[in-house]
Amino acid sequence: MDKQQKLGLLLSSRLFKKRTDVEVVLNRTTLSWREIQRSQKQDLDIGNSLDAAVSQVVPVSEIVSVQKTEEQHSETSSAHSRALEHNQLFLYAFTVSYVLRASKHQWRCTDVVFLCPDLTVCEQWIRAISDQLSILANRPKSLLVYINPFGGKRQGKWIYDQKVAPLFSKACISTDVIVTEQPNHARNHLETKANLDKYDGVVCVGGDGIFSEIVHGLVTRTQDENKVDLNDSEAQLMPSALRIGIIPAGSTDCICFSTVGTNDPVTSALHIIVGDSQPMDVCSVHHNSSFLRFFVSLLGYGFYGDVLTDSESKRWLGPTRYDLAGVKTFLNHNYYEGTISFLPAEDNMSNPRDKLQCRSGCCVCQQRSSSKARDMMEEKKKSVKDRREGWTVLSGKFIAINTACISCACPRSPKGLSPSAHLADGTMDLILVRECSRIDFLRHLLRHTNKDDQFDHQFVEVHRVKKFHFQPCRTEVSSLEDLSEIPRRAPSDQHAQPHRGVTATPPTAAGPATARSCPIMQFKSVSSAS
């Protein structure tokens, strides 16, 4: 019993599961059960039971719910006859729903039913497990849900109603659901109308576009409430108190894929239920001392911006529109001439080609987070002259100028545009594709679909930066596109800069653009190899 006391033993009973007697043990961190062999049943020693190997162990943090089994379970009839052999009739049961980790980072919700000898034991188990779940403060109890019914294959509402809502209900999470009717519906509602005090988080059902709307709405509202001037590119952004969850139902869902490891609605819903969260950088873009927008995934100038612009008129084609627009843009083979200035990341903890992928517990992001306050103080002490030192300036003709805050992985590009980009380190990966032949550019694009190094070309360079600025030679060809938003023509001369923890923004194409790192929290975890 000493070993169990050290583990925080709360309850232990001999119960019945399917056709088998089982010993069920609950401690402060796990629920476990194991089959009781026939030879052990006469003189079962509960005190030494944990010394034997258990057949199943579930972390309490991954239990979705526990409830009394009101109706006779499908296994009860066989269990009943089996129980009669032991001169015991098990009439009461409770069901534990928990996370089952499947392949390829996917999670599933599965149930186990335990039969009890009497009502008192049944209620005792339900109460004990419920008490442990109530202690988990990171779990949401009330959520505001926005559904984009038009994104991807237009299945957002069906996905939520059929796959997500039943799980939220099972976990006793209350929801207010809003089906968006037009672009920026969610953003405008969050900025001006939503009463956010009663919610633990905001969930978007759709693609990267509606996630961008949620980020803009929440972050903008938070800055307004804290009197932060968004037009000041040097201002430190304040993180939102609410976390954001993504249920993938879009065309590419790269933000979800880059953080969870799969575009599976059930997996994302379960991450939300158990309270998993991951900070992300948000980047801001400025032009002539005016704030333009935030971005959290990829900012594209040139090729990718042109693809998005051309695809917007073909939204009725769904995800196929990107293929058609991509072929057209590739054949056009435009290039853009200009000057890029960027401020390299100062430390040597990581670089864009170190082949290290950001995962849960990433040491780079954790160390950056711990040094955030110190970095902010040092930045404030710098004079205007000091802030201009250390910048690198490049000029030339470019087919594409991209800035990645995350890996931007998706099913079509499993490693992403920048496989070693970090989620919350306050930096961005600036990817420059200089003028080259169509064949060479095609080779570069194809490497995004396999394991080859897409940066291993003489005409491609990548830099990990804190800020960047792009000045095109001709303003009429400049187009700066957040690849998660509806495209817009951007003015020339922009800069971007990252804000760690809330947002991250690097200097970008066209006018001065700055990216700042200010943390937002998402209901999701970055998958490891498990």
pLDDT tens string 463-488: 999 999 998 887 544 444 555 543 33
Q: Tell me, what's the pLDDT at 363?
A: 79
Q: What is the DSSP string of 430-495?
A: EEEEES--HHHHHHHHHGGGSSS-TT-STTEEEEEEEEEEEEES-GGG--EEETTS------SSEE
Helix, strand counts (H, E) of the chain: 15, 24
Q: Which residues carry out catalysis? A: 208
The boundaries of every CATH 2.60.200.40 domain in the chain are: 282-356+388-521
Question: What is the mean predicted confidence (pLDDT) over 121-133?
Answer: 97
Going by CATH, does the domain composed of 282-356+388-521 fall within 3.40.50.1370? no
Q: Tell me, what's the pLDDT at 481?
A: 53
Quick one: CATH architecture of 142-280? 3-Layer(aba) Sandwich (3.40)
Of 373 and 284, the structure prediction assigns the larger pLDDT to: 284
Cα separations in angstroms, 24 against 51, 111, 126, 356, 422: 14, 15, 13, 41, 41
Whole-number Å distance between alpha carbons of 219 and 293: 11
DSSP 239: P
3-class DSSP assignment, residue 527:
coil
User: What CATH number belongs to 2-135?
Assistant: 2.30.29.30
pTM of the model: 0.83
| Residue corresponding to tokens 């237009």 | 154
Whole-number Å distance between alpha carbons of 522 and 461: 31
The boundaries of every CATH 2.30.29.30 domain in the chain are: 2-135
Q: Tell me, what's the pLDDT at 452?
A: 82
The boundaries of every CATH 3.40.50.10330 domain in the chain are: 142-280
Q: Tell me, what's the pLDDT at 367?
A: 75
Q: Tell me, what's the pLDDT at 106?
A: 95
Q: In the sheet where 92-101 sits, what is the strand order? A: 56-59, 30-35, 20-27, 9-17, 107-116, 92-101, 63-68
Residue 224 CB-half CA count within 13 A: 9
* pLDDT tens digits for range 37-54: 755 555 545 444 444 444
